Amino acid sequence: MAVASLDLVVPVIAAPMAGGPSTPALVAAVAEAGGMGFLAAGYRDADQVAAQIRAVRGLTARPFGVNVFVPGDPALGPAALGPAALGPAALDRYAARLEPVAARLGVKPGQPRWDDDDYRAKLALLTADPVPVVSFTFGAPAGQDVARLRQAGSLVMITVTSVSEAAAAVDAGADALCVQGAEAGAHQGSFRDDPAGRPGAAATPLLPLLHQIRATAAVPLVAAGGLMSGADIATVLAAGAGAAVLGTAFLCCPEAGTSDTHRRALLSGDYTGTGFTRAFTGRTARGLVNAFVREHGEYAPAGYPWVHHLTRPIRAAAAEQGDADALHLWAGEGWRRIRQLPAADLVATLAP
């Protein structure tokens, strides 16, 4: 499928947002408004993704996408991650550090473990029952998997955060790249989160990154990171992007599945900024700087998904109990400009 066949009336893509915010209702509302939305397959099993795909199809006939996390190498776990990770003992120490916050919320830290996020089953689902766009984050899938998805009729997009990742994604057969800048909310989609570097040390702001990748990669690009308005979108279109990808801007739409705790924090005026941290998942991500980030960020081992599973019960309880101090409050740099609008109205205001 060619990018042009996506038939975007408005060059706005609602980013995949795993952990709840992306819902079939949000995806369908953005699609019906002339943009395109992504379901987030991350943290769900293939059956749950299949159910969400059915739900979108029941709401709209317009194109939509599904985003899949590429699993890392289990051999690159905390035992092998080098000085910044300090091996499995670092996980034990981090778990011990989190005991008090877990106890305050009435839970225990989770069991740190590796998993592949049901990757093969998701690929099998998407190959057997294709959707218009499949995007990948945290790596480039194997070329043969990309070929199978394209053969099935899907457009394949890969998130990249550097020129070298863009080259690898094109080599793997990507039809298009999602260029994600340092301003972006939640995880950097980098293929590797170098444990030797501070969180975000390698992240490049969107516009320079877009210019660099445009000069080297001969496939269509979409741009993500800190975009909140029609004027922001016009800037990335002028820099060569075919469409703009917005996550944070959609977090407070009524159709989003964002937790009330997260929404309230975003709108509260209580926070002074966002920052990169590995505190919640062991992988670099941008969120509002809260007590959890301040107290634990510098002690978090660079081990995803081990740390993700370790903190999961804490984060679930924090969301449930309205405790924004212990929750991952993912947000991009543009968070102060979030608007509480139905998704269709937001898309209308975003037309550049």
Ligand X SMILES: Cc1cc2nc3c(=O)[nH]c(=O)nc-3n(C[C@H](O)[C@H](O)[C@H](O)COP(=O)(O)O)c2cc1C
Q: Which residues bind ligand X (CB under 6 A)?
A: 15-19, 21, 40, 42, 67, 137, 159, 180, 183-186, 189, 224-227, 245-249, 330, 332, 334
Min separation Cβ 238 and ligand X, Å: 18
Q: Would you say 95 or 309 has its CB closer to ligand X?
A: 309
- Cβ nearer to ligand X, comparing 21 with 71: 21
For 88-115, b/e burial (b = at least 16 CB within 10 A) is: eebbeebbeebeebbeebebebbebebe
Cα–Cα distance list, 284 to 71, 210, 233, 328 (Å): 15, 20, 25, 12
**Least distance CB 206 / ligand X (angstroms):** 9
Question: For ligand X, which is the closer residue by CB, 104 or 192?
Answer: 192
CB of 341 vs ligand X, minimal distance in Å: 15
Minimum distance, C-beta of residue 254 to ligand X, in the bound complex (Å):
16
CA distances in angstroms from 36 to 170, 326, 332, listed in the order given: 22, 32, 20
Judged by beta carbon, residue 281 or residue 306, the one nearer ligand X is 281
- Between 71 and 332, name the residue whose CB sits nearer to ligand X: 332
Minimum CB separation of residue 88 from ligand X in Å reads 27
Residue 99 CB, shortest distance to ligand X, in Å, is 27
The least CB distance from residue 92 to ligand X, in Å, is 28
Q: Which residues, 6 or more positions from 21, have their beta carbon under 8 angstroms from its beta carbon?
A: 40, 247, 250, 251, 256, 257, 258
Angle subtended by helix axes 163-172 and 143-151, to nearest 10: 60
Phi, psi of 96 (to 5 degrees): -65, -40
CB nearer to ligand X: give 20 or 88: 20
Name which of 95 and 134 has its Cβ closer to ligand X. 134
Contacts of 41 (CB under 8 A, 6+ apart): 16, 18, 49, 66, 67, 68, 69, 117, 122
Q: Which is nearer to ligand X, 42 or 132 (CB)?
A: 42
Pick 17 or 90: Cβ nearer ligand X: 17
Task: Please enumerate in sequence order all residues whose Cβ is within 8 A of that of 5, keeping only pairs 6 or more positions apart, or say none.
Answer: 63
The least distance separating ligand X from the CB of residue 90, rounded to whole angstroms, comes to: 25
Closest by alpha carbon to 180, among 145, 137, 218, 228? 137
- What is the per-residue DSSP string for 137-186? ESSPPPHHHHHHHHHTT-EEEEEESSHHHHHHHHHHT-SEEEEE-TT-SE
Residues 6+ apart with CB under 8 A from 39: 16, 22, 24, 27, 49, 52, 53, 56, 64, 65, 66, 67
CB of 166 to ligand X, least distance (A): 15
Amino acid, res. 245: V
Alpha helix ranges (H) inside 17-66: 24-32, 46-59
